[in-house]
Chain A
């Protein structure tokens, strides 16, 4: 079996705002092996981006990590390494900005494909120079060598090499995204965190980029976390997935398990609300209500107010994480009962 690369344990990231706290990510745990792709899905504001960025601790200055959270990457606990107990808030740890140890991991071991690659490049520098700069910052090689590597990367992601000296505005959206992928691969990282990598792109371009990412992921054997709101992208790309709702991970498992043997009512509802071009056309089911305000989350299960299966206990107690099948977890009081009963995509 593949080697474990990332182990996130009980990670909670809360934001301090004037009116109190926003409980953006609460008690999130998952594991990722080398060379594996995980899809992190959820709706806007569910904490999926905070979780992803929390791994490399690229968080806003008002973000605090709760004591007891661990992000173990290749044996090293990032939380212990680059945070310190907060002086203002007991029970919380504050991220040390520009931590020299952490910076050795960022981009070199863990790189990111940011949301909206359209704007991720600096418009006044040539794209190639920006990638060269990223390489030179982390590696002790000459500029010519770095340029050589950028040429190879461009070939790898399918951009003509003569475009290296173009500015970002001369690239199309798809090309910028490819250049972003090239930059993410530039230092042979072990893990790539891709935040909505294809959201702003057209379907044909999206399909090509996803195909490219899947191919490179296999070729280079990097692990990948794809953060997205689109379950169909995850179905296509990921080995395993984690479903987030209102700061909680509600279901984790292999992609097959979650789509075919859904064990959490939220995932079932999500699948029933998602149109497809396959199969029969049937009426979609909307999820009533809207996600809770995370500065004041409901007491029990956070999905309970919208859940068709909710009982009294759901409104009172936070549900435990139940393993319904090997490697398949659901955070629901009735996970055992509902497992096998919930209609996944197939039904």
Chain B
């Protein structure tokens, strides 16, 4: 799914990436087949220069694992991650350290992701020391101040000697952003960076991230469960379900012209801050199955109102392009796209 002309601009290209966690259940680890949790099971996408790529899905769908794979906090089971054309999926040692200089992460909980015994200065300077950037101490302090100012912690000098407990949630997350920025990374993975923040603070942090994207052209992988937040932040987005991408495309294309039945259910469930909004609830049955015992065929079929026996429960639908840049993994995607009627069928429940 690549267009030759935009090749230059692709920062990260993920191809058929998989991560299986082996599960040791009691004594069974000594004999028999090992059991796997297929957290990420063959996903592919590109992230271009200066782009915010949103990854949404419910808990347990594999979105966080994807983020951790891209920063190589987890080792992939299979597949490749191309960073400017170079495969980093199996890097080790010095090569990995060099890669990490270019890829930074912002975590969900600013109360836990900052060391409580480090001052802001020490926290933000740490990456510089690890990667041996800057000649002198003063030069590094200079860089830290610049990063803090970029994160809109002004005047930066006032924050240098503070500890995390002296900062509010929003300020902490800005310190985490400054820590990511200080290395001038070429790619940032942000895992639910605003979900712990209050509404009034959240908007400021989101705007800051968008402004920094404008200023430095840093692409983000923006992982969130909140579809309204994902819509606000991202240029393109992908919807994950049980380790697979079920739909991917331009953000508003996904929000308004989604084709996959799961995306439809997900988006219809999002509450809208408007008392006049009457939402048509799309009922999907049951709850997400466990990623250990995946249903055969399409992963969504046991809950899907359109599932057809003999097709959906047998064959896993590939992610196909229905129109320019809009990918859907559903057997009926073409029919949905053409507006054809797809009968709602009751299949025997799994």
List the interface of chain A (C-beta within 8 A of B). 43-44, 172, 174-175, 202-208, 210-211, 229-233, 235-236, 255-256, 259-260, 269-278, 281, 283-288, 290-291, 345-346
Contact check, B207 vs A235: say whether CB atoms are below 8 A apart: no
State whether A203 and B269 are in contact (beta carbons under 8 Å apart), knowing that A229-B199, A275-B228, A277-B231 are contacts in the complex.
yes
Contact check, A277 vs B170: say whether CB atoms are below 8 A apart: no
Of chain A, the residue at the smallest CB distance from B256 is A277
Q: Which residues of B contact A259 (CB under 8 A)?
A: 273-275
B157 within 8 A of A: no
Contact check, A202 vs B58: say whether CB atoms are below 8 A apart: yes
Contact check, B273 vs A345: say whether CB atoms are below 8 A apart: yes
Contact check, A290 vs B201: say whether CB atoms are below 8 A apart: yes
Question: Once bound together, how far apart are the Cα atoms of A1 and B248, in whole Å?
Answer: 50
The 16 listed contacts between A and B (C-beta, < 8 Å) are: A43-B199, A175-B287, A203-B226, A203-B266, A203-B270, A235-B273, A255-B275, A259-B273, A269-B200, A270-B200, A273-B202, A276-B274, A277-B270, A283-B207, A285-B203, A291-B200
Which of A44, A202, A269 lies in contact with B59, CB distance below 8 A? A202
Q: Which residues of B contact A274 (CB under 8 A)?
A: 199, 203, 228, 273
B168 within 8 A of A: yes
> Number of A-B pairs whose CB atoms are under 8 Å?
128
Contact check, B207 vs A287: say whether CB atoms are below 8 A apart: no
Q: Number of B residues whose C-beta is below 8 Å from A? A: 41
Contact check, A43 vs B200: say whether CB atoms are below 8 A apart: yes
Contact check, A207 vs B281: say whether CB atoms are below 8 A apart: yes
Write out, one digit per residue, whether chain B residues 192-212 have a CB within 8 A of any chain A CB (1) or not (0). Answer: 000000111111111100000
Question: Once bound together, how far apart are the Cα atoms of A345 and B273, in whole Å?
Answer: 8
B320 within 8 A of A: no
Most chain A CB within a 10 A radius of its CB, from B251, B266, B269: B269
Contact check, B199 vs A207: say whether CB atoms are below 8 A apart: no
Question: Once bound together, how far apart are the Cα atoms of A231 and B58, in whole Å?
Answer: 21
B74 within 8 A of A: no
CB distance from A260 to the nearest CB of B (A): 7
Contact check, B266 vs A235: say whether CB atoms are below 8 A apart: no
Contact check, A206 vs B269: say whether CB atoms are below 8 A apart: yes
Q: Which residues of A contact B201 (CB under 8 A)?
A: 286-287, 290
Q: Which residues of A contact B59 (CB under 8 A)?
A: 202
Of chain A, the residue at the smallest CB distance from B227 is A277
Q: Which residues of A contact B58 (CB under 8 A)?
A: 202-205
B28 within 8 A of A: no
Contact check, A277 vs B275: say whether CB atoms are below 8 A apart: no
> A203-B226, A205-B58, A231-B199 known; 15 other A-B pairs, CB under 8 Å?
A43-B199, A43-B200, A202-B58, A203-B269, A206-B271, A207-B268, A235-B273, A274-B199, A275-B203, A275-B228, A275-B231, A276-B272, A281-B252, A290-B200, A291-B198
**Residues in B142-184 with C-beta less than 8 Å from chain A:** 168, 170
Q: Which residues of B contact A175 (CB under 8 A)?
A: 287
Question: Once bound together, how far apart are the Cα atoms of A202 and B59, in whole Å?
Answer: 7
CB distance from B51 to the nearest CB of A (A): 16
Contact check, A230 vs B231: say whether CB atoms are below 8 A apart: no
Of chain A, the residue at the smallest CB distance from B199 is A273
CB distance from B135 to the nearest CB of A (A): 37
Which of B207, B227, B267, B281 lies in contact with A284, CB distance below 8 A? B207
State whether A233 and B271 are in contact (beta carbons under 8 Å apart), knowing that A273-B202, A275-B228, A275-B229 are contacts in the complex.
yes
Of chain A, the residue at the smallest CB distance from B290 is A172
Contact check, A235 vs B200: say whether CB atoms are below 8 A apart: no
Question: Once bound together, how far apart are the Cα atoms of A283 and B227, in whole Å?
Answer: 16
CB distance from B84 to the nearest CB of A (A): 30
Question: Once bound together, how far apart are the Cα atoms of A140 and B101, in whole Å?
Answer: 68
Question: Once bound together, how far apart are the Cα atoms of A185 and B155, in whole Å?
Answer: 53
CB distance from B211 to the nearest CB of A (A): 10
CB distance from B111 to the nearest CB of A (A): 12
CB distance from B288 to the nearest CB of A (A): 8
Q: Which residues of B contact A204 (CB under 8 A)?
A: 58, 265-266, 269, 284
Q: Which residues of B contact A275 (CB under 8 A)?
A: 203, 206, 228-229, 231-232
Q: Which residues of B contact A207 (CB under 8 A)?
A: 268-271, 281
Contact check, A260 vs B170: say whether CB atoms are below 8 A apart: no
Of chain B, the residue at the smallest CB distance from A274 is B273
B225 within 8 A of A: yes
Most chain A CB within a 10 A radius of its CB, from B207, B252, B275: B275
Q: Which residues of A contact B267 (CB under 8 A)?
A: 277
Contact check, B232 vs A284: say whether CB atoms are below 8 A apart: yes
**Residues in B254-294 with C-beta less than 8 Å from chain A:** 255, 265-277, 279, 281, 284, 287
Question: Once bound together, how far apart are the Cα atoms of A211 and B274, in whole Å?
Answer: 16
Question: Once bound together, how far apart are the Cα atoms of A202 and B267, in whole Å?
Answer: 12
Question: Once bound together, how far apart are the Cα atoms of A233 and B271, in whole Å?
Answer: 6
Question: Once bound together, how far apart are the Cα atoms of A44 and B231, in whole Å?
Answer: 24
